[in-house]
Structure 1
Amino acid sequence: MEEPPTSHSQPVRDVCDYDLLFDCVHCGLCAEACPTYVATRREMDSPRGRIYLMKSLAEGKLQLDDDAVRHLDLCLGCRGCETACPSGVHYGQLIEGARAFVERNHRRGVFDRLKRSTVSAIFPYPSRMRAVLAPLIVVDRLGLRPALRAILPRSFRDWLDLLPPLGARHPLAPDLHVASADNAPTVVVHHGCVAQVLANSENLNSERMLAAAGYRVEHLEETVCCGALDLHSGNSARALEFARANVRALKGSGADAIVSAASGCSTAIAEYGELLKHDAELAADARAVAGKVKDLSTLLLAAKWTPVREFRCTVTYHDACHLAHGLGIREAPRKLLASIPGVRLVELTESDLCCGSAGSYNLTEPEMARELGRRKVDNIVATGADYVVLANPGCEFQIAAELKRRNSKTRAIHLADFLALVANNDRIR
Structure 2
Amino acid sequence: MASPAVTSFSPVRDVCDYELLFDCVHCGLCAEACPTYIVTRCEMDSPRGRIYLMKSIAEGRIELDDDAARHLDLCLGCRGCETACPSGVHYGRLIEGARSFVERNHRRSLVDRLKRRAVSAIFPYPNRLRMLLAPLKLVDRLGLTAALRTIAPRTIRDWLDLLPSLEGRERPLASESTVAPRADAPTVVVHHGCVAQVLANSENLNSERILAAAGYRVVQLEPTACCGALDLHSGNAARARDFARANVRALKKSGADAIVSAASGCSVAIEEYADLLKDEPDFVEDARAISSRVRDLSSLLLDAPANPKREFRGRVTYHDACHLVHGLGVRDAPRKLLASIPGVTIVEMTESDLCCGSAGSYNLTEPAMARELARRKADNIVATGADYVVLANPGCEFQIAAELRRRGSNIKVVHLADFLAMASR
- Which 4+ stretches in 1 moved above 3 angstroms? 5-9, 304-308
Percent identity between the two aligned chains:
76
Matches within 5 A, 1:268-279: 268-279=269-280
User: What amino acid maps onto 2:152 in structure 1?
Assistant: L
CA deviation string 1:51-107 (max 9, x = no partner):
000000000001100000000000000000000000000000000000000000011
**2: CA distance between counterparts of 1:306 and 1:176?**
12
Per-residue deviation, 1:9:
4.2
Q: Which residue of 2 aligns with 1:24?
A: 24
CA deviation string 1:32-59 (max 9, x = no partner):
0000000000000000000000000000
**2: CA distance between counterparts of 1:308 and 1:356?**
33
Per-residue deviation, 1:176:
1.5
Q: Does the alignment pair 1:117 with 2:117?
A: yes
Per-residue deviation, 1:171:
5.1
**1: CA distance between counterparts of 2:32 and 2:334?**
24
Per-residue deviation, 1:304:
5.5
Per-residue deviation, 1:18:
0.4
**2: CA distance between counterparts of 1:242 and 1:127?**
16
When the two structures are superposed, what TM-score results if normalisation uses the length of structure 2? 0.97
Per-residue deviation, 1:151:
2.4
Q: Confirm or deny: 8 A CA contact 1:76 1:356 kept in the other structure.
A: yes
> Matched residue of 2:189: which SS?
strand
Q: Which residue of 2 aligns with 1:427?
A: none
**2: CA distance between counterparts of 1:186 and 1:305?**
14
Per-residue deviation, 1:329:
0.1
Q: Which residue of 1 aligns with 2:97?
A: 97
Per-residue deviation, 1:167:
2.5
**1: CA distance between counterparts of 2:60 and 2:173?**
55
> Matched residue of 2:48: which SS?
helix
> Matched residue of 1:277: which SS?
coil
Q: Confirm or deny: 8 A CA contact 1:140 1:165 kept in the other structure.
A: no
Q: Which residue of 1 aligns with 2:345?
A: 344
**2: CA distance between counterparts of 1:7 and 1:89?**
24
Q: Which residue of 2 aligns with 1:163?
A: 163
Q: Confirm or deny: 8 A CA contact 1:187 1:255 kept in the other structure.
A: yes
**2: CA distance between counterparts of 1:305 and 1:23?**
44
CA deviation string 1:157-182 (max 9, x = no partner):
11001011112355521112321111
User: What amino acid maps onto 1:274 in structure 2?
Assistant: D
**2: CA distance between counterparts of 1:9 and 1:283?**
33
Q: Confirm or deny: 8 A CA contact 1:166 1:198 kept in the other structure.
A: yes
Structure 1 stretch displaced more, 299-308 or 171-180: 299-308
User: What amino acid maps onto 2:340 in structure 1?
Assistant: S
CA deviation string 1:255-281 (max 9, x = no partner):
000000000000000000011111110
**1: CA distance between counterparts of 2:264 and 2:306?**
21
When the two structures are superposed, what TM-score results if normalisation uses the length of structure 1? 0.96
Per-residue deviation, 1:141:
2.1
**1: CA distance between counterparts of 2:142 and 2:280?**
50
CA deviation string 1:177-229 (max 9, x = no partner):
32111110000000000000000000000000000000000001100000000
**2: CA distance between counterparts of 1:305 and 1:316?**
25
Q: Which residue of 2 aligns with 1:87?
A: 87
Q: Which residue of 1 aligns with 2:259?
A: 258
Structure 1: which 5+ residue stretches go unaligned?
425-429
Matches within 5 A, 1:412-423: 412-423=413-424
User: What amino acid maps onto 2:146 in structure 1?
Assistant: P
**2: CA distance between counterparts of 1:223 and 1:277?**
22
Q: Which residue of 1 aligns with 2:46?
A: 46
Per-residue deviation, 1:117:
0.3
Per-residue deviation, 1:147:
2.4
Q: Which residue of 1 aligns with 2:229?
A: 228
Structure 2: which 5+ residue stretches go unaligned?
none
